[in-house]
Amino acid sequence: MYDMPQKMKGGFHGIRSKQISLVLVALVCTIILIWGCERTSILSSFILQDDQLSQLSRDILIDDSEPRPVLPKDSSQVNDGVESELDKKNNPEEHEQRNHQDTGKIPVDNKDTSGKALTAVEEGIIATGDEMSSDGKTEEAQPQTSEEGNPVDVDQNPENTNPTTDLESTLSNQIFNKSVWTRNEKQVCNYGKGKWVKDESRPLYSGFKCKRWLSAMWACRLTQRTDFAYEKLRWQPKDCDMYDFQGENFLARMRHKTLTFVGDSLGRQQFQSMMCMITGGEDRPEVQDIGKQFGLVKARGSIRPDGWAFWFPSTNTTVLYYWSASLCDLTPIDPSNPKTEVSMHLDRPPAFLQRFLHRIDVLVLNTGHHWNRGKLNANRWVMYVGGRPNTNRRIADIAGAKNFTIHSIVHWVDSQLPKYPGLKAFLRTISPRHFFNGDWNTGGSCDNTTPVSVGKEVMRDESSDSSASRAVWGTRVKLLDITAISQLRDEGHISRYSIKATPGVQDCLHWCLPGVPDTWNELLFAQIL
Ligand SMILES: *[C@@H]1O[C@H](CO)[C@@H](O)[C@H](O)[C@H]1NC(C)=O
Ligand SMILES: *[C@@H]1O[C@H](CO)[C@@H](O)[C@H](O)[C@H]1NC(C)=O
Ligand SMILES: *[C@@H]1O[C@H](CO)[C@@H](O)[C@H](O)[C@H]1NC(C)=O
């Protein structure tokens, strides 16, 4: 939008001089009677000129100093205040209690700190005996008696009786205009192409705060780490502009809607990042834990539930994460035996998705770091295809199995889209690891503290995650391509500062928060506007 005036001015000017030259050339052409030939050359000179112009405006666009558009704030925060005030008045005790319960249900507490090793294990960083219990939990904790439906009682929400405000309609107008604009620019707009720029206004929330949603193990501000330059970067796509992320705008866009992340712990990082971004890292007592509605309760003997779901009453928005490291359906072969092998149905979506897809409006899938022989053996996962143990050699190979599964889940989601036309589905590409001088278990490290020291730009058009990008090809599932941009950010990992005993073992897989996954969410938001 910002480059429009530039383009138009140049365009009018260009047309006027072109008209003159058109007349001249036409004269010449009439004389020598080779009209068609000349016409072609005029056309191509026009195209060249237009190209140069848009190149120029693009250069202006990506100037770091260019002030970026900001969506107007909507009134949701005001409503929030009204609501909690009303709540207090109507039933102060209940309000107190709810706050208390909410705090009691935080996904991140002591158990999570000790869960550090577990999550690292999940991703193949640290191998300990805990591994099996951690992953075993995933399978046995399939929702059994969860109360589906029963949407949270939102009828008392004063928000519902409020007429839509002018500010809000302005916002939706702008969003509509913006989406029209983006659609026109889509051919040239690739969010994965661009550069990291310094931005003193970052991060989007404080790493000291956001205690309710951010696991302590990923909050690098709470560790011994003293360098925080990695927090002060923003991704600037080359051919498209991006709005600054603002929680209120996100909520306004997601009114009455549910955003769901399904994937491994890197998906969980993106979920926590999103919660912190929406709330600005502040505790929001009115936000409710509604995990139970989705069967996300801690099963007996497990360390934590299979996911979390939070509900923002001001806009009736739900943000959810479901743990599925493989993005396929896992069923115990002998349910009565706790040591049973687990069939890993490569061609079936996780049961959770089959069950709840109809309640999801924006879906973000990811997988990748569990696809190795060690993980499969440790989890006693046995590959199944078509309901039987796999016999296809091409699939039996781990890379083949992963590729096959990614294609299966994407095609399944795509096949569901006609039924849920409002659903926007994304496959997030793989999050890169940065172990230098060894792997996670052989002393690999990521000690660099200087941002983008390997380069700040991504120039290539195609994704570096070819398996993911080929899987979505020809489907309506979109790619959330974060691989190449994150590849440039080796300084942004937890590194050696994790809260764990094992000396010498670094976490060069997970990211510090606030940090790189915040950018993934900005790119996601830009693509659902
Ligand atoms: C675009 O925004 C303007 C206000 O800036 C509004 O009047 C107009 O209706 C919007 N256009 C569309 C197509 O919504
Ligand atoms: C809240 O959103 C859900 C969809 O996520 C919808 O079914 C429900 O009707 C909404 N509640 C209200 C009061 O609008
Ligand atoms: C990935 O899986 C798809 C679908 O099964 C297949 O067509 C493609 O050839 C596979 N690619 C690789 C690299 O194995």
pLDDT, tens digit (0-9, with 9 covering 90-100), for 324-334: 999 999 999 99
Q: Is 281 exposed, middle or buried (0-12, 13-18, 19+ CB in 10 A)?
A: buried
Q: Does ligand 2 come within 6 angstroms of the Cβ of 154?
A: yes
Residue of 171, 172, 173 best suited for mutating to test ligand 1, as the one with most atoms within 8 Å of CB: 173
What average pLDDT does this structure show over 297-302? Answer: 87
CA-316 nearest atom, ligand 2 = 1
Q: Does ligand 2 come within 6 angstroms of the Cβ of 150?
A: no
What average pLDDT does this structure show over 374-395? Answer: 94
Token output for 388: 């039987």
Phi (first) and psi of residue 354, to 5 degrees:
-60, -35
pLDDT at 9: 41
Distance CA 325, CA 409 (A): 13
CB distance 308 to 297 below 8 Å: no
pLDDT at 350: 98
Residue of the nearest CA to atom 10 in ligand 2? 256
* Percentage helix, strand, coil for the chain under 3-state DSSP, each rounded to 5: 45, 15, 40
Residue predicted with more confidence, 170 or 527: 527
What average pLDDT does this structure show over 415-430? Answer: 97
Residue 481 vs residues 70, 264, 458: alpha-carbon distances, Å: 24, 17, 12
CA-180 nearest atom, ligand 1 = 13
Could you say which ligand is closest to the alpha carbon of residue 170? Answer: 1
pLDDT at 419: 96
Q: What is the DSSP letter of 163?
A: P
Q: Does ligand 3 come within 6 angstroms of the Cβ of 403?
A: yes
Q: Does ligand 2 come within 6 angstroms of the Cβ of 358?
A: no
CA-407 nearest atom, ligand 3 = 4
pLDDT at 169: 52
Radius of gyration (C-alpha) of the chain in whole angstroms: 26
The SS3 assignment for 356 reads helix
Q: Does ligand 2 come within 6 angstroms of the Cβ of 4?
A: no
Q: Does ligand 3 come within 6 angstroms of the Cβ of 402?
A: no
Residue of 403, 408, 467 best suited for mutating to test ligand 3, as the one with most atoms within 8 Å of CB: 403
Q: Hey, which residues does 288 pair with through a beta bridge?
A: 311
pLDDT at 109: 34
Q: Taking Cα atoms as reference points, which of 529, 426, 410, 528 lies closest to residue 482?
A: 426
- Percent of the chain at pLDDT above 70? 63
Q: Does ligand 2 come within 6 angstroms of the Cβ of 34?
A: no
Q: Does ligand 3 come within 6 angstroms of the Cβ of 392?
A: no
The SS3 assignment for 449 reads coil
Q: What separation in Å is there between the alpha carbon of 477 and the centre of ligand 3?
A: 17
**pLDDT beyond 90 at 221:** yes
Could you say which ligand is closest to the alpha carbon of residue 172? Answer: 1
**pLDDT beyond 70 at 92:** no
pLDDT at 188: 54
Residue 250 vs residues 279, 286, 309: alpha-carbon distances, Å: 10, 17, 17
Q: Taking Cα atoms as reference points, which of 169, 166, 132 lies closest to residue 380?
A: 132
Q: Per-residue pLDDT tens for 388-421?
A: 999 999 999 999 999 999 999 999 999 999 999 9
**pLDDT beyond 60 at 147:** no
Q: Per-residue pLDDT tens for 502-514?
A: 666 889 999 999 9
**pLDDT beyond 50 at 445:** yes
Q: Is 325 exposed, middle or buried (0-12, 13-18, 19+ CB in 10 A)?
A: buried
**Would you state the torsion angle of the CA atoms of residues 93, 292, 267, 139, taken in this order, to the nearest 10 degrees?**
140
CA-257 nearest atom, ligand 2 = 5
Q: What separation in Å is there between the alpha carbon of 404 and the centre of ligand 3?
A: 6
CB distance 171 to 71 below 8 Å: yes
Distance CA 368, CA 81 (A): 41
Within a 10 A sphere around the Cβ of 57, how many other Cβ atoms? Answer: 16
**pLDDT beyond 60 at 99:** no
Long-range contacts of 465-471 (CB under 8 A, 24+ apart): 465/429, 465/430, 467/402, 467/403, 467/406, 468/406, 468/427, 468/428, 468/429, 468/430, 469/429, 470/407, 471/403, 471/406, 471/407, 471/410, 471/427
Q: What separation in Å is there between the alpha carbon of 240 and the centre of ligand 1?
A: 20
Residue of 367, 385, 402, 407 best suited for mutating to test ligand 3, as the one with most atoms within 8 Å of CB: 407
**pLDDT beyond 80 at 364:** yes
Residue of the nearest CA to atom 14 in ligand 3? 400
CA-177 nearest atom, ligand 1 = 1
User: What residue spans define the domains of the chain?
Assistant: 196-326+405-528
What average pLDDT does this structure show over 54-58? Answer: 36
Range ranked top by mean pLDDT from 32-36, 59-63, 87-91, 450-454 = 450-454
CB distance 113 to 499 below 8 Å: yes
Residue predicted with more confidence, 437 or 518: 518
What average pLDDT does this structure show over 315-343? Answer: 96
Q: Does ligand 1 come within 6 angstroms of the Cβ of 177?
A: yes
Q: Does ligand 2 come within 6 angstroms of the Cβ of 160?
A: yes
**pLDDT beyond 70 at 452:** yes
CA-394 nearest atom, ligand 3 = 14
pLDDT at 396: 92
**pLDDT beyond 60 at 343:** yes
Q: Does ligand 2 come within 6 angstroms of the Cβ of 316?
A: yes
Residue of the nearest CA to atom 13 in ligand 1? 177
Token output for 123: 């991703």
**pLDDT beyond 50 at 97:** no
Distance CA 403, CA 468 (A): 8
Could you say which ligand is closest to the alpha carbon of residue 149? Answer: 2
Q: What separation in Å is there between the alpha carbon of 172 and the centre of ligand 1?
A: 9
pLDDT at 25: 61
Helices 92-104 and 76-90: crossing angle in degrees, nearest 10, is: 120
pLDDT band at 71 (very low <50, low <70, confident <90, very high): low
pLDDT at 345: 98
How far the first Cα of the chain sits from its last, in Å, is 15
CB distance 289 to 304 below 8 Å: no
